[in-house]
Each structure stands twice: as structure tokens, then as C-alpha cells.
Structure 1
Amino acid sequence: MTGLFGATSTTDDVLAGVDLSGKRVLVTGVSAGLGVETARALVAHGAQVVGAARDLAKAEAATAAVRALTANGGSLELIELDLASLTSVRASSHALLADKRQFDIVIANAGVMAAPFGHTADGFETQFGTNHLGHFTFVNRIAPLIKEGGRLVNLSSSGHRFADVDLDDPNFEHAAYDPWLAYGRSKTANILFAVEFDRRHKERGIRATAVHPGGIRTELARHLEPGTLEAMVSKINSDLAAEGKPNYELKSVPQGAATSVWAGIVAPANEVGGKYCENCHVATIAEGQIGPTVEGVYAYALDGDRAKALWAKSEEMVGERF
């Protein structure tokens, strides 16, 4: 299964011949980029998709073409979810629980990257609060709706290599704030959350995994200064050229969303459960310092004890136990 797809595979490649009729999938962040493409691919193959977004008007405009894809019986409905507000998270999850319809897959896709220092509505550092705590609370609250044999896919990033989580100072109350450090912490948290969620739910046949979509030009880069992304790619390619290696290429959006649908639908559950995936395969543990174009996951992001500690700290921060 692993060898069938790779870095250049698209969502349509991964889902070729797959019939998702009768499957119900929740995808967060469907107002742009990967979220819209993930929803499109799923609906096109017959899935009933619930798309969550902070700005419903923006999501409606972004998914108009997706909602018109009804030939195979697929559908897309939108719900409001602001991950930077626990009030919104709780209201949205409460409505889904009251509705009682179950999900086969939950794809926690939404997020922010390299944001300037700030706080969520509940006082959490913006990136940790939005990328991790918002999803942590939302997913755990709707966990009873995930069917036996279902899956959770958390969108992480190779950015997890920037930093491990800091359980003593998650809100940068003592350390100097750095946007990439904060992003790294939040992306490591996404992986650790999947590790512990998988441990807690695999007896029900529910598996969780974290994925790196790859480098993609999407709205995720909206906080970067103009030219920053291009400069980063130029620096990477300069380093690669010095090593006699080919240039690094950004992925297209369909290529970036491929690993999410691969891990959620196509890959064997026991292969991806509790793991970190990239380029449509399970990543290996990286040894030593690795560059942004080299595959691999740092061991601290898959550490079971670290995952349990983050879970406890997260419960403490949001004021709920799961």
C-alpha cells in the first residue's frame, strides 16, 4: 500500500476507484486551500461531508463548486466553528452531538502558521490555542460520534521540527515569542494529540494519525511578509544545489491534500494508527538535524509519555476532562 503513492500523488490519484457512498466525513477549515480540496475530493467520490469554518460566508463562496457536485450522491454542508474560541467550539460540538449522526472520519485540517504574537478569545497563545487546543476540545467532545472503525486525521507539518511542546510555558509568558517556534510547538502538539487519541480509542477500532501535507502555496502563509516563502524556497534550493541535489518543488493543493485522504481512507488502519505520515506513506524516525526537504519525524513528537502529559495539560488549560 505504501509504495503505490508518493510526493506527487494527488487526491484523485489516491481515491481512484474508491466509492465513498454512505461515508460521512467532517473536515475543518473548508474556506480555503487544503480544506476545500479535501472536501471536493471526498464529495466527488460520494461522501457526505460536513465542512467546518470560522467564516461561513467565505466558506460558502469557496465551496460553491463543491456543493454542486451531486452526480455521485456526495454532499457538503457547512457549520460554523471558530477554533480560537472555546465558546464557538462548544456550541458547534453541542449541535453535532444533538444531531446524533455519526462520522466515519474526522479530518482536523484548519490552522494558522507563523502568526504574530496574540491570544485566542480564551487567552491562549494564538497558534497553540487555535491549532491544538481548539481541535483538542472539539474532537474530544464529538468523539462519541466517531463510528467504530473510524479515523481521526490531524494536519501537522514538518514544522514540528522547529520545537517540542513546552508544557511549562505554553503561552509564552516567560520565553520570548518567535512565530516559527510557536508554530513548531503547535504542530508537535497535533502529532502528540493523535498519538494519545489513538491509544485511548483503538480498542473501539478508532485510529488516529497525523500528516504533513508538504510545502504548498495556500492562505496558511498569509502572515508571512511578501517574498518570504520565495526566499525560503530559494535558500533551500541553494543548499540543495551545493549538495548536488535537485531543486525543491512546492506541491500543488491536490498533491498537498493527498496524504490526508490517503491516511483517512486508503491506508490500512493498523499501518497509520498512532503514526506521522508524509508523501502518502508512514514517516521514519529522523536522526539528528534534518533539513526542511528531508523526510522524517522527530522522536519527541511520537513519545507516548509526552503525549499523555500534553493531554493532561490540555485538559487543565481548557477546563474539561475527556
Structure 2
Amino acid sequence: MTGFSAASLPDLTGRTAIVTGANSGIGQAAARALAAAGARVVLAVRDVAKGQTAAVAMPGIPGTPGAPEVRELDLASLDSVRGFAAAWDGGIDLLINNAGVMIPPLTRTADGFESQFGTNHLGHFALTNLLLRHVAGHGRVVTVSSDVHRIGRIDFDDLNWERKRYRPWRAYGQSKLANLLFTAELQRRLSVAGSSVLSNAAHPGYAATNLQFHSQRRSVDFLIGRLGNRLLAQDAAGGALPTLYAAIADIPGNSYAGPGGFAGLRGAPKLAARSAAARDPETARRLWTVSEELTGVRFPLA
């Protein structure tokens, strides 16, 4: 799909897509593009008011069949994840695990996990497995990672940063590496179960969104970020293209999509390379087992 853009999306009328974190940034851009293509889009967001504001600006008349919907989901709370899944009824064609937190100070989720690992990985791990029985036969699960996964390491002795000095970027890298290992192991399990559902991943490159500014604590970081956005970044719509590509392109399961332009930072999406650590099947299986133990949620098709 050379030159892939939002206009490349097929008619998605009758399809249902859930997008986590769809009230802003690349999640909002992806949700808007899917709605414009005719999909029924569900914005799964922590802040319902912001989600409703985002939904009103999307194609479709609020309250009518097929219009964007807003449902509350806090990925930092397993109770919220379970509640969202328990309330779901009907099929799902696309589950886009987009929401995330980036380099905050050391904080913990409602269940006591380090916030980046708990939200970016464990929350989506639980959500996906709880909803998987609803995902249609040829549906897809797309998990948004980052090329920052390359600095990550899965520290099974201290996943929640309780022993070592907390390093926000390293913690973020661990969570994004976990996203790719989850994608790979989910695809392996789907294939063994004989399912035609595909598990893919994507990264946005360098997208000028508000995510980094929510987490930058020093003025120098803010200024450097602003300069980088001006010189190198693409907008949120451009950053959402790899997600859309992973969702609808004719590619195999366990694909990883990213921008195809300068240094993988921007440009039309294509299949991207990942680190050796992200391709380690033994680490992926071990992480899956640990994630089941931590969340109490298991793969439903075994």
C-alpha cells in the first residue's frame, strides 16, 4: 500500500471499532478516520466529558445508529477494565489498544502497579483477553507501541520498580517492549487456537501530540519538545496512520507498522523493524504468564 493515507480506508459501514484513549492525540485521529469511513466507533476513555467533546467533532449524528459512542474506561484500574468488558454486548471488528501514559513521576495504578507498566501493558492485556470472545472472525487487535521499546528491558525481578531507582524513560521503554511481546504472543496463541483474528502493532513515529507535554516536568524538556515538534514531528493525523495501516492493510499477524520516512519519524506507514528483545519468544511467553498472574485474566480460547 504505497502512499497509504486515511483515504485508503475501505468502506467500514457495519464494522465496530473500539479505540482506547480516543479523546485526544493519535487515538482521536484514528477514531475520526474510522468514523469517516463508516465504522461505528466506541471511544473508550477515562475522561467521559473529554470523550464526548471529541465524539461530537467526529462524523455521525450523536444518538443515531452508527454514530461515535463514549464509554468510560480507566486502564489504570482492573475493576474499570472488567466493568467495561462485562458491559460489552455484540461483535468487535477492531480493538485498538492506543491509550497510554508517558514518563510521569513514579506513581502506581489502583492495583499497585507502576503506572506505565500497569496502564500501557497490563490494562490492555486484561482488556484484550476479556473482550477477545467478542472479536469477529477476521477482526484485528492493534496495540500501539513505540520505538522507545528499544531501550526497554523486561525486568522480571522488579517489573513494578519497587527495588531499583525509578527511571521514567526506562519504565516507558519496558512498557512499550511489553506491548510488542504481548502482540507476538497473542498472535501465537490465536494461531494455535485456529482463530483468524490477527494481532498487530504500530508506532506513530514522532507525532506532535499533547502526550509528552503532560509528562514533561522541566522547562528545558518542554522547550526541547516544542523545538522537536516544529522541526521533525508530524501531526496527530499522520501519527495515526500506522495504527490504521496495522488495522486494515493486507499484512500478516504480528506485523509492526511505523512511518516510512526520515528515520522512521514521519511519513506514510510501512512495516517496521523491532529490536531483538521484542522478537524473543521465550520472554514473550514468560511475560504472558506473569501478566495472567498479576491481572487474574487468562487467554479465553485455550
Shared fold by TM > 0.5?
Answer: yes
Partner of 2:283: 306
For residues 223 and 186 of structure 1, the distance between their equivalents in structure 2, rounded to whole angstroms, comes to 16
Aligned partner of residue 197 in structure 1, secondary structure:
helix
For residues 248 and 193 of structure 1, the distance between their equivalents in structure 2, rounded to whole angstroms, comes to 33
1:264 aligns with 2:264: no
Aligned partner of residue 60 in structure 1, secondary structure:
helix
Could you tell me which of 196, 207, 211 is aligned with 1:205?
196
Partner of 2:294: 317
Q: Contact 1:192 / 1:307 at 8 angstroms: preserved in 2?
A: yes
Going from structure 1 to structure 2, the CA distance change for 1:135 and 1:29 (only over 3 Å counts) comes to same
Q: How does 1:37-186 map to 2 (within 5 A)?
A: 37-66=29-58, 68=60, 74-96=66-88, 99=89, 101-186=90-175
Q: Contact 1:44 / 1:74 at 8 angstroms: preserved in 2?
A: no
Please tell me the residue identity of whatever aligns with 1:302: R
For residues 119 and 301 of structure 1, the distance between their equivalents in structure 2, rounded to whole angstroms, comes to 25
Going from structure 1 to structure 2, the CA distance change for 1:171 and 1:118 (only over 3 Å counts) comes to same
Q: Contact 1:45 / 1:74 at 8 angstroms: preserved in 2?
A: no
1:253 aligns with 2:236: yes
For residues 59 and 257 of structure 2, the distance between their equivalents in structure 1, rounded to whole angstroms, comes to 29
Query: Structure 1: which 5+ residue stretches go unaligned?
Result: 238-246, 285-296
For residues 45 and 281 of structure 1, the distance between their equivalents in structure 2, rounded to whole angstroms, comes to 21
Q: Contact 1:212 / 1:259 at 8 angstroms: preserved in 2?
A: yes
Aligned partner of residue 62 in structure 1, secondary structure:
helix
Deviates more, 1:159-168 or 1:148-157: 159-168
Q: Any idea what the Cα deviations from partners look like across 1:41-70, whole Å, max 9, x if unmatched?
A: 011110011110011011111221115468
- Residue 218 of structure 1: how far off its partner (Å): 1.5
For residues 28 and 200 of structure 1, the distance between their equivalents in structure 2, rounded to whole angstroms, comes to 23
Q: Any idea what the Cα deviations from partners look like across 1:55-87, whole Å, max 9, x if unmatched?
A: 1011111221115468xx852111110000011
For residues 305 and 20 of structure 1, the distance between their equivalents in structure 2, rounded to whole angstroms, comes to 37
Query: Structure 2: which 5+ residue stretches go unaligned?
Result: 260-268
Q: Contact 2:18 / 2:94 at 8 angstroms: preserved in 1?
A: yes
Please tell me the residue identity of whatever aligns with 1:113: M
Partner of 1:231: 224
Normalized against structure 2, the TM-score is what? 0.89
RMSD: 2.0
Partner of 1:275: 255
For residues 38 and 7 of structure 2, the distance between their equivalents in structure 1, rounded to whole angstroms, comes to 16
For residues 14 and 259 of structure 1, the distance between their equivalents in structure 2, rounded to whole angstroms, comes to 12
Going from structure 1 to structure 2, the CA distance change for 1:64 and 1:154 (only over 3 Å counts) comes to same
Q: Contact 1:213 / 1:257 at 8 angstroms: preserved in 2?
A: yes
- Residue 227 of structure 1: how far off its partner (Å): 4.4
Please tell me the residue identity of whatever aligns with 1:198: Q
Going from structure 1 to structure 2, the CA distance change for 1:108 and 1:260 (only over 3 Å counts) comes to same
- Residue 32 of structure 1: how far off its partner (Å): 0.9
Q: Contact 1:154 / 1:209 at 8 angstroms: preserved in 2?
A: yes
- Residue 163 of structure 1: how far off its partner (Å): 1.1
Aligned partner of residue 200 in structure 2, secondary structure:
strand
For residues 165 and 232 of structure 1, the distance between their equivalents in structure 2, rounded to whole angstroms, comes to 27
Greater RCO between the two (CA within 8 Å, min separation 6)?
1
- Residue 147 of structure 1: how far off its partner (Å): 0.8
- Residue 31 of structure 1: how far off its partner (Å): 1.4
Q: Any idea what the Cα deviations from partners look like across 1:182-230, whole Å, max 9, x if unmatched?
A: 0000000011111011111132111111111111121211111344254
Going from structure 1 to structure 2, the CA distance change for 1:57 and 1:179 (only over 3 Å counts) comes to same
Please tell me the residue identity of whatever aligns with 2:58: V
Q: Contact 1:43 / 1:69 at 8 angstroms: preserved in 2?
A: no
Please tell me the residue identity of whatever aligns with 1:61: T
For residues 254 and 299 of structure 1, the distance between their equivalents in structure 2, rounded to whole angstroms, comes to 29
Q: What is the identity percentage for the equivalent residue pairs of Structure 1 and Structure 2?
A: 42
- Residue 269 of structure 1: how far off its partner (Å): 3.6
Going from structure 1 to structure 2, the CA distance change for 1:27 and 1:161 (only over 3 Å counts) comes to same
Q: Contact 1:109 / 1:154 at 8 angstroms: preserved in 2?
A: yes
1:189 aligns with 2:189: no
Going from structure 1 to structure 2, the CA distance change for 1:180 and 1:64 (only over 3 Å counts) comes to same
